[in-house]
Amino acid sequence: MSRSFAAPLDAVDQVQRSADGITATKRIVATDPYLEGHYPGFPIYPGVFTLESVYQAARQAVQAGRGPHVRVELAAVRSVRFKAPLLPGDVLTVDCRLTDDPDDRGRVRAVADCRRGDGTASAKVTLELRVLRETTGA
């Protein structure tokens, strides 16, 4: 059986605004299906999912700040550095600073520091987001 889509991944459990951006959390659950094969006997939250956690949190914050008529897309992954694994039982915390591109109001830079629940740095991520106004067909 073939699917033309992938089931959406809930890569954040909670997003809260902070003074200079957002803080999001994601609980890493041992029974989540993506952990079974990554890696057998030593499950690790996939690095690409850490990127997705940052993207989903930043997207929610930008949409909340700019209103319901915007669409936020990933434009570029500027940098990623993985520092420590996220294991079942860990809680990923994403502290993300959002800044508008001064030359292009349609771009937002998201710089995220990711940590495990024990405070250990797990990743540093910088994304560039494209903000598009959605038009309604009337």
Active-site residues, by number, are 38
CA pair distance 127, 138, nearest whole angstrom:
34
First-last CA distance in the chain: 38
Query: Is the CB of residue 96 less than 8 Å from the CB of residue 21?
Result: yes
Query: Is the CB of residue 46 less than 8 Å from the CB of residue 32?
Result: no
3-state secondary structure at position 107: strand
Sign of CA dihedral 97, 101, 105, 107: negative
